[in-house]
Amino acid sequence: MSYAISPIAREYFSGLHRALDIVARERRYLAFIQAPPFERSVLFYEEILKNDLCQFTALDRSEVVGWCDILPTQGEARAHIGTLGIGLIPEARRKGLGSKLMAAALAKARAKGLRRIELFVRQDNAGAKTLYERFGFVTEGLQKDSFYVDGEYFDTISMASVWR
């Protein structure tokens, strides 16, 4: 396997959508349980490109196997805040790609002037929580029953990293 981290590009749209769908269908890591329609995803990715937002892809040769984005929060008073999202298809996990994706996205977020990065992680996702803590994220709260999947409720943890 030959892995690389690359900024988002149009040539990766189809692969990003595929990776999103794979992770979403696991019904464990994302708020989605399947990817949105491809056309809607393309509009989302185009907006990221147009505004030079923070999104990086993990590639196995030319195949997208994951992503990390930090997208701005709405409202002028919250313009310094971004929300982090990350996902890797099962075969690409535990290879250090999550760390590489986060490092790239966080560096760009800082360069773009973001000073607070927020995320939510399911409480039962200890591996992701550990990864976030390695990057300086701290737990800020617990949201009870904030995910509902297949008739079962799950709590999420809110985490953030702040720098000045």
CA atoms of 9 and 46, how far apart (whole Å): 9
- pLDDT above 70 covers what percent of the chain? 99
Inform me whether the pLDDT recorded for 2 exceeds 90.
no
pLDDT tens track for 23-82: 999 999 999 999 999 999 999 999 999 999 999 999 999 999 999 999 999 999 999 999
Amino acid sitting at position 5? I
Handedness of CA 66, 70, 75, 78 (dihedral sign): positive
CA atoms of 99 and 163, how far apart (whole Å): 19
CATH number for the segment(s) 3-115: 3.40.630.30
CA atoms of 10 and 24, how far apart (whole Å): 21
Write down the pLDDT at residue 1.
Answer: 63
Task: With beta carbons less than 8 A apart as the criterion, state whether 137 and 161 touch.
Answer: yes
Q: Are strands 116-122 and 81-88 parallel, antiparallel or unpaired?
A: parallel
Question: pTM here?
Answer: 0.94
pLDDT tens track for 113-151: 999 999 999 999 999 999 999 999 999 999 999 999 999
Task: Characterise 131 by phi-psi region: left (phi > 0), alpha (psi -120 to 50), beta (else).
Answer: alpha
